[in-house]
Amino acid sequence: MIVEPQCARFDNIALEGGASLSPVEITYETYGHLNSDRSNAILIAHAFTGDAHAAGIGHADGKPGWWDNMIGPGKAFDTDRYFVICSNVLGGCQGTTGPGSINQATGRPYALSFPVITIRDMVRLQKMLIDSLGISRLLCVSGGSMGGMQSLEWAVSYPECVLCTIPIATTWRHSAQQIAFNEVGRQAIMADPDWCEGEYYEKKPPARGLSVARMVGHITYMSDESMREKFGRKLRQKEKFGFDFGVDFEVESYLRYRGNQFVGRFDANSYLYITKAEDYFDLTNGTGKLTDAFRTVDTRFLVISFTSDWLYPSYQSQEIVRVLRRLNGDVAYCDLQSNYGHDAFLVDIAEQSEIVRGFLDSTARLARAA
Partner 1 sequence: MGQSVAAVIATQPVTLAERPDFSVIGEIIEPNSRVLDLGCGEGELLAWLTKHKHVLARGVEISPAQVRRAIARGVSVYQGDINEGLADYPDKAFDYVILSQTLQETRAPLQLLQELLRVGRRAIVSFPNFGHWGVRIAMLLNGQAPKTRLFPHNWYNSPNIHFLSINDFEELCRDQHFPIERRYFLAGARHVTVFPNLLAQTAVFLLG
- For partner 1, the binding residues (CB under 8 A) are 300, 302-303, 318, 321-322, 325-326, 328, 330-337, 351, 354-355, 357-359, 361-362, 365
Classify the phi-psi angles of 362: left when phi > 0, otherwise alpha if psi is within -120 to 50, otherwise beta.
Answer: alpha
Query: Does the annotation count 308 as an active-site position?
Result: no
Cis peptide before 23 (omega within 30 of 0): yes
Q: Give 19 or 332: the residue with its C-beta nearer to partner 1.
A: 332
**CA pair distance 106, 111, nearest whole angstrom:** 12
**CA pair distance 169, 75, nearest whole angstrom:** 20
Query: Does the annotation count 132 as an active-site position?
Result: no
> Running DSSP on this structure, what letter comes out for residue 115?
P
Contact in structure between 216 and 262 (CB atoms under 8 Å): no
DSSP assignment of 347-360 equals H--HHHHHHHHHHH
Contact in structure between 73 and 20 (CB atoms under 8 Å): no
Q: Pairing relation of β-strands 300-306 and 331-336? A: parallel
Output the smallest distance, CB 137 to partner 1, in A: 20
Query: Does the annotation count 78 as an active-site position?
Result: no
Q: Is the dihedral of CA 143, 145, 146, 151 positive or negative?
A: positive
- The backbone torsions φ and ψ at residue 147, rounded to the nearest 5 degrees and listed phi first, read -65, -35
Which residues make beta-bridge pairs with 109? 102
Output the smallest distance, CB 366 to partner 1, in A: 9
Q: Give 2 or 369: the residue with its C-beta nearer to partner 1.
A: 369
**Alpha helices per DSSP H over the chain:** 119-132, 146-157, 176-190, 207-221, 224-230, 250-263, 268-280, 290-294, 314-326, 344-347, 350-369
Q: Give 108 or 325: the residue with its C-beta nearer to partner 1.
A: 325
Q: Give 229 or 354: the residue with its C-beta nearer to partner 1.
A: 354
Q: Give 48 or 333: the residue with its C-beta nearer to partner 1.
A: 333
From 46, 174, 218, 342, the catalytic residue: 342
Q: Give 289 or 325: the residue with its C-beta nearer to partner 1.
A: 325
From 51, 121, 282, 309, the catalytic residue: 309
From 39, 87, 101, 145, the catalytic residue: 145
**CA pair distance 76, 27, nearest whole angstrom:** 23
Output the smallest distance, CB 39 to partner 1, in A: 17
Q: Give 31 or 333: the residue with its C-beta nearer to partner 1.
A: 333
**CA pair distance 42, 360, nearest whole angstrom:** 10
Q: Give 126 or 338: the residue with its C-beta nearer to partner 1.
A: 338
Output the smallest distance, CB 302 to partner 1, in A: 7
Contact in structure between 290 and 284 (CB atoms under 8 Å): yes
3-state secondary structure of 168: strand
- The backbone torsions φ and ψ at residue 239, rounded to the nearest 5 degrees and listed phi first, read -95, -30
Output the smallest distance, CB 337 to partner 1, in A: 6
Residues contacting residue 366 through CB under 8 Å, at least 6 positions apart: 163, 300
Contact in structure between 148 and 140 (CB atoms under 8 Å): no
Output the smallest distance, CB 36 to partner 1, in A: 24
Output the smallest distance, CB 287 to partner 1, in A: 19
Output the smallest distance, CB 24 to partner 1, in A: 37
Active site residues: 145, 309, 342
